[in-house]
């Protein structure tokens, strides 16, 4: 399974997502995680970037909401505790299991 972490440097939340994806990859050896830096609006439009961090599993942004805008901005995730800058490890496990 190929997972891409799309991010831009202006948002620190990608680092938490990166750590959680690394933990997930350590649990499941069939997962490959790559990072993709998005640094222009043109690149954001080309890759369908809905904010940092975006998690793309086998070509699909697994947390994208319908109608979410393309933007170079920090993204918010609804977690069980409160809105956060990255999905929880359990949320990542759930979407990986569904993919």
State the sign of the Cα–Cα–Cα–Cα dihedral 7, 58, 31, 95. Answer: positive
Whole-number pLDDT of residue 73: 93
Q: Where are the alpha helices (DSSP H) in the chain?
A: 13-27, 41-47, 89-98
Structural contact between residues 21 and 92, judged by C-beta atoms closer than 8 angstroms: yes
pLDDT, average across residues 18-45? 94
Instruction: Give me the residue spans of the domains in the chain.
Output: 2-98
Q: Which CATH class is domain 2-98?
A: alpha beta
Task: Quote the pTM value.
Answer: 0.92
pLDDT of 53 above 90:
yes
Residues 43-52: tens digit of each pLDDT: 999 999 999 9
* pLDDT tier, 98 (very low <50, low <70, confident <90, very high otherwise): low
């Amino acid at each position: 399974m190929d997972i891409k972490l799309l991010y831009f440097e202006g948002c620190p939340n990608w680092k938490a997502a990166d750590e959680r994806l690394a933990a997930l990859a350590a649990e499941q050896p069939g997962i490959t995680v790559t990072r993709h830096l998005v640094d222009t609006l043109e690149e954001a439009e080309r890759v369908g970037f809905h904010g940092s961090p975006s998690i793309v599993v086998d070509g699909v942004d697994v947390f994208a909401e319908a109608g979410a805008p393309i933007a170079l901005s920090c993204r918010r995730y609804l977690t069980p505790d409160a809105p956060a800058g990255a999905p929880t490890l359990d949320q990542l496990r759930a979407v990986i299991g569904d993919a």
